[in-house]
Amino acid sequence: MQSRLDTSPISNWWWTIDRWFLAAFLSLLGLGIVLSFAASPAVAERIGLDSFHFATRQIIFSIPALGVMLAVSFLNARQIRRLALGILCLMLVMMVAVLYIGVEVKGARRWLSFAGMSIQPSEFLKPAFVVICAWLFAEHKRQPEIPGNLFAMILLGLVLALLLAQPDMGQTLLVVGTWGVMFFMAGLSWVWIIALGGLGIAGLFAAYEIFPHVAGRIDRFLTGEGDTFQVDMGHEALVNGGWLGLGPGEGTIKRLIPDSHADFVFAVAGEEFGLITCMVIAAIFAFIVLRGLSVSLKEHDDFTRYAIGGLVTVFGLQSVINMCVNLQLMPAKGMTLPFISYGGSSQIAIAVSMGMVLALTRRKPQKRKPLAYGFSSSILPAE
């Protein structure tokens, strides 16, 4: 247990960290490991691997993810901006490279392969993009003569162009939605709201007309015709589990779902542990988003407010999309459930993002005043 009289960086971190956030993130990491043992054996056996191949790798990925999240949480706001700028520049270069040398899967180029490992640059791009846009919005508000909003729009256009070139409509929706929320927080006028809303609707219609796979997914969702096997099985697994589930390892429909360990792990949770467990998982995600927005509203620094709001928004939107697809509430889209779905690249990227949240929500300690007999005062949160 760290003493309040301890002046070390670890002690300062312990007494200033938002422990509710930390507990929520650790809970999701733990749930991800538990559910990987339930969801992945059938997939591994189907492709000729050891039953616990994916579960073991999930644990292996979770260890560096935890380390990255804690390491980033030690940074201050200025260091977060510098880290985000470095990641943004590197990921933009990698997203250009992925168009030429990326691994093609089902007609899309989204991954780069290095030494047997696959990296999805767009996953790491999201938190960096959010932080840099937050800084640009904040600089424009602090000094209106600085065209921060214009630069944020240019950056948005660049990122969207690279995402659509892959193509990746899911990440495109996440980026646009999060950017819109941040722009709203920065005080955009109703003229901008109407204009951007119109552009967004026009963009959806354009995507339907331009990208056949987008049109196919929307048509299947609206008509129920075509290949809806995986989505149907995911929904049936949730129904089959009932309120309390069939029990660990007792699920049967999960064995028929090709991506049960990744995009449809929420359905496996419902079949084996019940809808009550699914509601608990949804409640943890909701808690993170609502607490993040609540904390951001109390922040006096514009950059910190926009960054926290943007980071929890993209986190929440991604989780909502995944759960809605599992519940057949929206067209199918390959989107992982943060910290829970299998995936090394996405785990580390989400860890970076939530490490930034932990860093930016740390309470600002007051300066310590020396006391009698050479002791120093304890750390107290600034009012």
Domain residues of the chain, as ranges?
Answer: 16-362
Q: Which of 66, 138, 125, 123 is nearest to 306 (CA)?
A: 138
- What confidence tier does 380 reach under pLDDT thresholds 50, 70, 90? very low
> What is the token pair recorded at 150?
């214009």
Quick: pLDDT tens for 76-85.
999 999 999 9
Residue 153 has pLDDT above 80, yes or no: yes
What residues contact 40, with CB distance under 8 A and at least 6 apart?
Answer: 52, 53, 54, 55, 58, 260, 261, 342
**pLDDT value of residue 304:** 95
Q: What is the mean pLDDT of residues 274-299?
A: 95
Residue 91 has pLDDT above 80, yes or no: yes
**pLDDT value of residue 1:** 56
Residue with tokens 């670890």: 10
User: Could you give the CA distance from residue 124 to residue 381 in angstroms, rounded to a whole number?
Assistant: 32
User: Could you give the CA distance from residue 182 to residue 196 in angstroms, rounded to a whole number?
Assistant: 13
User: Could you give the CA distance from residue 112 to residue 198 in angstroms, rounded to a whole number?
Assistant: 35
User: Could you give the CA distance from residue 100 to residue 166 in angstroms, rounded to a whole number?
Assistant: 10
Q: Comparing 84-88, 164-168, 181-185, 213-217, which segment has the lowest mean pLDDT?
A: 213-217
- What confidence tier does 29 reach under pLDDT thresholds 50, 70, 90? very high
Q: Which of 316, 365, 359 is nearest to 84 (CA)?
A: 359
User: Could you give the CA distance from residue 373 to residue 383 in angstroms, rounded to a whole number?
Assistant: 27
Quick: pLDDT tens for 238-274.
999 889 989 888 888 988 888 888 889 999 999 999 9
CA angle (190, 194, 195) in 5-degree steps: 115
What percent of the chain lies above the pLDDT cut of 70? 92
CA dihedral 349, 351, 353, 354 (to 10 degrees): 160
**pLDDT value of residue 56:** 92
User: Could you give the CA distance from residue 260 to residue 298 in angstroms, rounded to a whole number?
Assistant: 40
Q: What is the mean pLDDT of residues 217-237?
A: 82
Residue 373 has pLDDT above 80, yes or no: no
